[in-house]
Chains A and B, each alone.
Chain A
C-alpha cells in the first residue's frame, strides 16, 4: 500500500516527535503522538504540529484551547477514528456504515490522500463514485435538455424541433410524433414480411413475381416518413457530426438507404451494368431493410438496456462463442469419426457435422442429421450436456449485467431528479447564506481555508463532477423555473 513514512532525519522533527497533540474532534478527545503524526507531513494534523503562530493554527482548526493545548475540530468523530488509523497502521479502512462518499470528504478535510485507503474499501468508494458519475451524467443530460433559450429565431425553431423529435416526454405533440414513428416502423416491418408471401405478389412485366403495388406504395410512404424524420433530426441537432455518428442514427440511415440505392440502381444502373446484376444488388439491399426493426430500440428502454448490457458484456459474449466454437469443433469431429462406421451415415464431412453439433449443443435438434451408431448417440448425449453448460455458464454474467442495468435505469431517473432538486435547493440556500453571512461576524469568513471549504460544501457530492459548469447550470435552473 501507499504508505510513505517520512524518515525522521531532521533535528527539527525530532523535537516535535516527542510532542503530544491533543485534539478534540466533535467532542471526542484524542491524544496523538508527534512521531506518528509526522509520518504524514501533508496531513492537516502534521501541519498543525508545525504551526507556531495563532493565525496559522486558527486557519487549520476550528478552536484552540490554550490552557489545555487542545485543538478543536468540528468534524465527525467516528470518521476521525478511521482516519487516525493511518497514523498508526499506515492504512485506512472505512468503518462499516459510513457512506464512502462522506468519508472521502472527511479525508479531504484531513488532507489525506484517498490512495491511503485500503484496497477493499477503495472499491466501495469506486462503486459509489461510478454511481454518482452516472447520476451526474444524467443530470447533465436533463440540464442540456432544458437548455438555455437561444437568441435567434432559427435557434429557437431548432430547439423546438429537437425537442419535438427527440424528447417524447417533453410535450404532447412530441409524444404523438413518437407514437406515429413507432407505428410506421411496425407497419413497414409488417409490409416487408407480407410482401414476400407468394399469394400476395403479382406478376411483373417479365413474368416474375414482384411486390404488390399497394404494398409498394405503403413502403414508399413509410420510407418518406423515415427520411423526413431523419432529416429533421439532423437539421435540429446541436452537433451535426456527433448526431450522424450516433449508433441509433446509423441504424436510421441503414433503414432508409436501401430504398434509395435500389431506386437509383433501377433507374440508372441498367445503363451501367447488366440487368441480372442490378437485380441481385437490389435483392441484397432488400435484406438491409431489416435494419428498420432496430429502429424500435429508440422507443423501448428495454431494448436500449439490452444493447447496453451486451456492449458491456462483450467479454462474456466472446467467452460464450468460444466455448460453443470449441464444443462444436470437438463434437462435430467426434461425431463424424464415430458415424463413419455406419453405411448410411448422415455425417458426410466434418464441416457438415458442424451444423449438427450446433443444433445439438443448443438443444434445438431439428432431426435432419442424427447419429445412428451407439457410439455416435453417446457422443450426442455428451455434446448436448456440454452444450447446456457451455451456454449457461457465460450467459449468467450477461444476464446479471442486464438485470443490473435494467434496475439501475429505473433508479437513475429518480436519482437525477432528486439531484436536480438538491441543486436547486442548494442554490437557493447559498443565496440566502450569502446575504446572511454579511450580517454575521467576520470570524466565520476570516480564514480563507474554511470559507473555501464552505463554499464547496454547499454543493452536493454528485455535483462535483459538474462543478466547472456550475454557474451555467444554476442559470439554467433558474431560467427553467
Chain B
C-alpha cells in the first residue's frame, strides 16, 4: 500500500462517507448509517488539525511518521486566502452532514438542515466565483487543479441529495443573500400543523377499538389527505412532507386498518353476470332468428373439358 498522507486519509474518509450518503436513498442506508455517524465524530477534530498544519509543513509534530509530503514552493501551492476558504468549507460541510444524518429517519432533512445547507452553498459560491484580495481566484487552485476535484465532488454530491429531496419547495430563499434560506414556507408549516392534529387524534384514540379511531379521526385525516393532494398538484411537496404523509397513511391503513372494506361483492357479481349474459342472448338470438347469409355461386365460362374440381383431383392423385 502506498504511503498515505494525513490529508488524503481524511479525505478518503469523507469521500467514503459521501458515497455512503449518495446511496442513502436506497435501502442500504440502514446498514451504513450508524458506522458513518461514528466516524463522523472524529472528523471535526482532525480536520482542524489538518487545516492548521498544511500551509507550513512540520514533520516533527506530525502524528504519522510516514508523512512524505514535501513542501511546494509558495507560488505553486494555494494562497492563504484560499486555504482559509477551504477550511471554512470543511467546517460547514461537516456541520451540514452532521445535521442530515440524524434527520434521516423519519426524514426531516429539509426542515432541520436548510440553514447549514445555505451556508455551505454560500461558501462554495465564494470559492467558485468570487475574486479574493489581490484578484486571486480560488476556483482554479481549489476546484480543478487535479483529476479528483475533491471539493467539487463533495459539494456536488450534497447538492444532488438536496435536489433529490426537492427541499427547495419547502423552504423560502432569503432574498437579500444568495444561497441562504430564511425558513419553511407557510404551506409546509400549515401541513405540519394539520399533520400534528391527525397524529394527536391518533394518539388519543389509539387505545382500545380501532374502529372508534377510524370514526373519530376521519375528518382530520381526510383534511390532511386533501391538503396533501392539493400540495401535490401545486408542486409544493418536499421529501419531509412526503415521508410524513406516507407514515401517516401507513398508520391509518395498515396499523389502524381504516381502509374501505370490500363489502358489495354480491351486487357487483350480479351486475357482472347480467352483463356477461347479454352477449350470450344476443348471439343465440341472432343465430336462431337471423337468416343465414347465402352466397350465390356463379359458374364461370370455361373451356369445356377439364375444369371441374373432380378432374383436378383425379389428375393430382
Asked if A and B are interacting partners, one says no
Q: B residues near A, CB below 8 A?
A: none
Q: A residues near B, CB below 8 A?
A: none
